[in-house]
Amino acid sequence: MGGPLNGLKVVEMEGIGPGPFCAMVLADLGAEVLRIGREGKAQDPHDVLARGRKVLALNLRDADGCARALEFIGRADVLIEGFRPGVMERLGLGPDVCLARNPALVYGRMTGWGQSGPLARAAGHDINYIAISGALHAIGQAGQRPSVPLNYVGDFGGGAMLLAVGVLSALHEARSTGKGQVVDAAMSDGAALLSSMMYGLKASGRWSNERGENLLDGGAHFYDVYACADGKFLAVGAIEPQFYAEFRRLCGLAENPEFDPQMDSRWWPSLKVRLADLFLTRTREQWCALLEGTDACVAPVLDWDESVQHRHNVARGTFVRADGLTQPAPAPRFSNHALRVPGRPQAADEQDLLERWKAAREDMWETPS
What pLDDT is stored for residue 360 in this prediction? 82
> 237 with 348, same domain?
no
Residue stretches of the chain with pLDDT short of 70: 1, 362-369
> 243 with 352, same domain?
no
Is there a contact between 234 and 300 (Cβ–Cβ < 8 Å)? yes
Residues 292, 295, 297, 300, Cα dihedral to 10°: 0
> 143 with 27, same domain?
yes
**CA atoms within 13 A of residue 300's CA, in its CB half-sphere:** 23
Q: What are phi and psi of 46, to 5 degrees?
A: -100, 5
> 305 with 325, same domain?
no
> 114 with 142, same domain?
yes
Q: What pLDDT digit, counting tens, does each position of 169-194 carry?
A: 999 999 999 999 999 999 999 999 99
Cα–Cα distance for residue pair 325/121, rounded to 1 Å: 37
> 253 with 141, same domain?
no
CA angle 136, 138, 139 (to 5 degrees): 70
In a domain, 209, yes or no: no
- Domain CATH number, residue 135: 3.40.50.10540
Cα–Cα distance for residue pair 75/10, rounded to 1 Å: 9
What is the number of domains present in the chain? 2
> 17 with 149, same domain?
yes
> 160 with 235, same domain?
no
Nearest Cα to 330, choosing from 21, 1, 25? Answer: 25
At 262, which amino acid appears?
A: Q
At 169, which amino acid appears?
A: S
Query: Domain end: 309, 330, 354, which one?
Result: 309
**CA atoms within 13 A of residue 96's CA, in its CB half-sphere:** 5
Cα–Cα distance for residue pair 135/155, rounded to 1 Å: 13
In a domain, 184, yes or no: yes
In a domain, 208, yes or no: no
What pLDDT is stored for residue 367 in this prediction? 46
> 298 with 325, same domain?
no
Reported pTM: 0.95
At 332, which amino acid appears?
A: P
Range of the domain at 262: 223-309
In a domain, 204, yes or no: no
In a domain, 161, yes or no: yes
> 97 with 166, same domain?
yes
Q: What pLDDT digit, counting tens, does each position of 269-291 carry?
A: 999 999 999 999 999 999 999 99
Instruction: List the catalytic residues.
Output: 125, 155
Cα–Cα distance for residue pair 155/148, rounded to 1 Å: 13
What DSSP line would sit under 318-367, residue for residue? -EEEETTEEEEPP-S-BTTB------S-EE--HHHHHHHHHHHHHHSPPP
Burial group, residue 324, by CB count within 10 angstroms (0-12, 13-18, 19+): exposed
> Does an H or E element contain 235, and which?
strand 233-237
**What's the Rg (C-alpha) of the chain?**
24
Nearest Cα to 126, choosing from 169, 90, 184, 82? Answer: 82
Report CA-CA distances (Å) from 344 to 36, 234, 319, 320: 15, 36, 16, 14
In a domain, 251, yes or no: yes
Cα–Cα distance for residue pair 287/51, rounded to 1 Å: 38
In a domain, 217, yes or no: no
Cα–Cα distance for residue pair 45/196, rounded to 1 Å: 38
- Domain CATH number, residue 227: 3.30.1540.10
> 76 with 145, same domain?
yes
> Does an H or E element contain 286, and which?
helix 284-291
> Does an H or E element contain 81, and which?
strand 78-81
In a domain, 124, yes or no: yes
> 301 with 333, same domain?
no
